[in-house]
Amino acid sequence: MRKIAVIGLGHVGVTVAYTIYAQGLCDELVLIDKNEKKLRAEEYDFKDAASRMLFHTEIKTGDYNELKDADVVITAFGDIEASVKSGDRFAELPINRAAAKEVGQKIKAAGFKGVVINISNPCDVITSILQHETQLPKNQVLGTGTFLDTARMQRTVGEAMNQDPRNVAGYVLGEHGNSQFIAWSTVVVNNKAASDLFTPEEIEKLDKLPVEGAWKVAFGKGYTSYAVATCAVRLAEAVLSNAHLFAPVSVYLDEYETYIGYPAIIGSKGIEAVVQLDLTEKEQEKMWQSARYIVRKY
């Protein structure tokens, strides 16, 4: 019996829930939101679609006690308007800090023993708070982190080379926010190093595009949803299927004493291992700068 819960049914949370529902990734899907009217509306809309779905998924709503035997909890609460107005994901921190403490305590009280996947911003800080409040092992609490930012890098580099983004490998590391950076030493296109494909001037221009692209979406439609929801669902599927997925996520690194975007292997118990990268000295310094920024904000 595969069971997933989604906490927070805003633009992102409901997109996550619907993607899970449409793909038949679980047998039971628990929907939780503080807005009772919104929760009931989404419940009925999902159930109205049931007779046309290819898969059967039982919908349950509103009860944290349902989390006791859940495999995965995805947290997607937040106030996206604060981030969009300021151009800074940390604008959501005052609201989401309180929400993370409340939600984390309720997850713990429910006796949840599975894996928490956090989307809520600022992702790395909120993931830290959720781990602290749930008291789950650090490997069982992770965030989407730079999984999304890496996808944005793959898109921009792929477009520059007229290539499918899936032909681009490499990582965006650090904060899921403005201090993130592309680790160019890791980027390859069709097995060719980025340093052999782009001039330093081209790399400098491409460097800015993932962050700019994120805000272009947010400013244009008022929020982001499809890409980050896809990332969260991919991670949930990796947990459910014990896929040993290799991906850059918000993971706790002892070296930096914080959650931060870095490659890890994700399976049924969450983070199975962190994969050490051979970064350049400049990239290592950027990691430290990003980590210090996250810790100061925390």
The CATH number of whichever domain residue 19 belongs to comes to: 3.40.50.720
Please report whether residue 115 resides in a domain. Answer: yes
What integer pLDDT is reported at residue 202 of this predicted model?
95
Strand 270-274 relative to strand 258-267: parallel, antiparallel, unpaired?
Answer: antiparallel
What's the confidence (pLDDT) of residue 205? 92
* pLDDT of 111: 98
Please tell me the predicted confidence (pLDDT) of residue 215.
Answer: 82
Return the pLDDT at 79: 81
**Cis-peptide, bond into residue 94, ω within 30° of zero:** no
List residues with catalytic annotation.
176
Task: Indicate whether 40 belongs to any domain.
Answer: yes
In total, how many domains does the chain have?
Answer: 1
Q: Per the domain annotation, does 151 fall within a domain? A: no
**Does 120 map to a domain?**
yes
Q: Is residue 261 part of a domain?
A: no
Q: What is the predicted pLDDT for the residue at 80?
A: 74
Q: Is residue 212 part of a domain?
A: no
Q: According to the model, what pLDDT value does residue 25 have?
A: 98
pLDDT at 275: 95
Q: Domain range spanning residue 63?
A: 3-143
Backbone angles phi and psi of 190, in degrees to 5: 50, 45
Region of 246 (left: φ > 0; alpha: ψ -120 to 50; beta: rest) is beta
Q: Which residues of the chain have pLDDT under 50?
A: none
Taking the C-alpha atoms of residue 35 and residue 181, their distance in angstroms, rounded to an integer, is 36
Q: From the annotation, which residues make up the binding site?
A: 8-13, 33, 96, 119-121
153 within domain boundaries: no
Pair 229, 12: CB distance under 8 Å: yes
Q: Residue 100 has what pLDDT? A: 97
Residue 90 covered by a domain: yes
- Predicted pLDDT of residue 211: 82
From CA 150, how far away is CA 156, in angstroms rounded? 10
In this prediction, residue 208 carries a pLDDT of 86
